[in-house]
Chain A
Amino acid sequence: MQAIARQPEAYGIIRQNMLLGFALAEALALIGFVVPFVFGT
């Protein structure tokens, strides 16, 4: 948010990198959630 406020013209790139970081971090949690379903019994 601060980065966007400081440099509004870079909004596109900042948003894109934020979403990318969100996706990379979220994937690990979701793998943990899904693996027991896939490999359990």
Chain B
Amino acid sequence: MAFGVVASGGPECHLFSGCGFPAPGAEIFQFDAVLSFTIGGLAFNISKVTILLFLAVVVILGFFGYAFRKPKLVPRGAQNVGELGYLFIRDGIVRETIGKGGDKFIPFLFSFFFLVWILNFWGVVPGAQLPVTSIFAIPVTFAIIVYVTWVPLGIYKQGFVGFFKNIMFPPGVPKAMYILLTPIELISNFLVRPFTHAVRLFANMFAGHLLLATFSVAAFYLLSFSVIGILGSAASFSLAVLLTGFEAFIQALQAYIFTLLAAVYIGSALHAEH
């Protein structure tokens, strides 16, 4: 299946060879299981997605375990990079959205940022070339984890009544507006929020991967001995390379935004808007 994108039209499928453009679709996100086994009635299917997921965990644990194996007061080498990552989460995300009281959540958000980033990053790693977060189940799981963190946290910190009152009846609004505002706030905070949180990450990675696949297939398909073929193939190839760089940027940005939104949600649970 790894070669499936190009093979979808066959290796002989080129412009003027009589076959249409084999546009990649949602099928490039489906992978056959490499390994299947059953433990206690639960069926496990290990595919490329699962392997990359575990590999991401290994990479993160390996890097940070190595960076902080013997932490020194004056950091050198890998510890510098590790501390830079930590400071980025602390000063760039947590301190600015939650405030000082949010330092407890740095490990949570730190793990999220680097896991999401590495999972996204597989999309531009040669050989892997699949952003794992473009499989919908994975961002959904992440969004659910964030959701079951901030909702109980808000109920715990503000009390059951206080938490819902703060969300459904934001202060500083004319009384009559609550007829309109309360249902909107309720739906947008408890239903739309987790949904868009997951879909934003998924859709970005899905669209980006599809874009790269389309231009890569186009570069292969247009390759033929004709002016338009050579020009089109070269243009598609350079676009694919350029967009790979752009995707690398988007992947880091989406990991940042996912973590930022998680921090904003936790912040809104910790202290009410005023």
Asked if A37 and B26 make an inter-chain contact with CB atoms under 8 angstroms apart, the answer reads: yes
- Stretch with Cβ within 8 A of A (4 or more), from B114-122, B152-160, B163-171, B196-204: B196-204
Number of A-B contacts (CB under 8 A): 49
Asked if A30 and B203 make an inter-chain contact with CB atoms under 8 angstroms apart, the answer reads: yes
Asked if A34 and B207 make an inter-chain contact with CB atoms under 8 angstroms apart, the answer reads: yes
Asked if A34 and B206 make an inter-chain contact with CB atoms under 8 angstroms apart, the answer reads: yes
Known: A37-B25, A37-B210, A38-B26. A19 touches B203 (CB 8 A): no
Q: Which of A13, A20, A37 gathers the greatest number of chain B CB atoms within 10 Å?
A: A37
Write the A1-41 contact mask toward B (1 if CB under 8 angstroms, else 0): 00000000000110010011001101100110110011010
Q: Which of B91, B196, B199, B260 contacts A19 (CB 8 A)?
A: B260
Q: Which of A19, A37, A40 contacts B206 (CB 8 A)?
A: A37
Q: Is the interface of B mostly helix, strand, loop or mixed?
A: helix
Provide the bound-state CA to CA distance between A19 and B196, in Å.
16
B46 contacts the other chain (Cβ, under 8 Å)?
A: no
B residues with a Cβ closer than 8 A to A are 25-26, 91-93, 96-97, 136, 196, 199-200, 202-204, 206-207, 210, 253-254, 256-257, 260-261, 264
17 contacts between A and B (CB under 8 A): A12-B92, A12-B96, A13-B96, A19-B256, A19-B260, A24-B196, A27-B199, A27-B200, A27-B203, A30-B203, A30-B207, A33-B203, A34-B207, A37-B206, A37-B210, A38-B136, A40-B26
A residues with a Cβ closer than 8 A to B are 12-13, 16, 19-20, 23-24, 26-27, 30-31, 33-34, 37-38, 40
